[in-house]
Amino acid sequence: MKSEQIAINSQCTFHRNLEEALDAYAAAGFRNVEPHLNLIRAWLDDGHTVGETRQLFESRGLRVVASSQLEIICFGSPDARMPNLRANVENARLIRALGADKMIVGTDGPEQNSVGALGAVADAVRNLAEATEATGVEIAVEFNWSPIIRSLQSAVRVAEMADHPRVGVLFDTAHYHVTPTKLADINEDSVRYIKHVHLNDMPDRPADLTHRDFDRVLPGEGVLDLPEIISALERNGYSGFFSIELFNAQLWRLPAKEAAKRCYESLLPLCEES
């Protein structure tokens, strides 16, 4: 991992307004940002244009590399699925207008989980990819942000079944830790589908008793062998961004600049230049 590949997800300082967050990220040293679309839309609702929003990033030497907001509704009636599809298409257009080309999504699930039900997920994700063809935005399904896609293996299965070049997987080290996913699953067959990576560390406690979101800690403060995971990803062909994503109450209580600084500094030991 090189320093130019590191990014920050705005969930790390999720309670800040957009301008304050971007000032903090730039001051910390970040150049790549993964803003949650709620943060973007709140800024737009205050009367700003998309062009002004993009300029807000660029004037600070920042660029948007990915974003997320909604899950994909794959089951249920067309009356439920169609508005969700339209909303996700609009999100993809906004992400593209901000200069990014990755949209991370979760999914809903069926009444009864089964391997066969993954086909409905694959169909829905493929439909979204086809509906957003003009944007060029890639769709990355996040395993464990779904009641049915609970591992890297099941996410890869969905991507394989979708069989669309812009459909892939979001790999998150927290989800890696708390699901049945193993290091051996990070191989050439799976990494070819990984579009984006979230980095975080996890505390020294049983994985099944660890919360997938709120127990996350800064890289280096937990027990995950992040260098080994990063090496496995890169060895098998991953060359994209590594975005730190934390839902950490201690960070949220800090001033935005201090929280961003701690995030940035926690990533530097993982970079090749360090």
Identify the band that residue 76 occupies on the pLDDT scale cut at 50, 70 and 90: confident
> What mean pLDDT is reported for the chain?
97
pLDDT reported for residue 15: 73
Q: Is the pLDDT of residue 12 over 80?
A: yes
The pLDDT of 229-241, averaged and rounded, is 99
Total Cβ atoms within 10 A of residue 134: 10
In the beta sheet, which residues pair with residue 68?
36, 104
Q: Is the pLDDT of residue 63 over 50?
A: yes
Residue for token pair 């403060």: 221
pLDDT reported for residue 274: 44
Q: Is the pLDDT of residue 197 over 80?
A: yes
In this structure, what CATH number is given to the domain that contains residue 122?
A: 3.20.20.150
Q: Where are the beta strands (DSSP E) in the chain?
A: 6-9, 32-34, 63-64, 67-72, 102-107, 138-142, 167-172, 194-199, 242-244
Q: Is the pLDDT of residue 21 over 80?
A: yes
The first and second tokens of residue 112, run together, are 């009864």
User: Alpha-carbon distance 146 to 227, whole Å?
Assistant: 27
Contacts of 109 (CB under 8 A, 6+ apart): 74, 75, 117, 146, 147, 148
Tell me which residue range forms the domain holding 52.
3-270
pLDDT reported for residue 273: 67
pTM over 0.85: yes
How many domains does the chain fold into?
Answer: 1
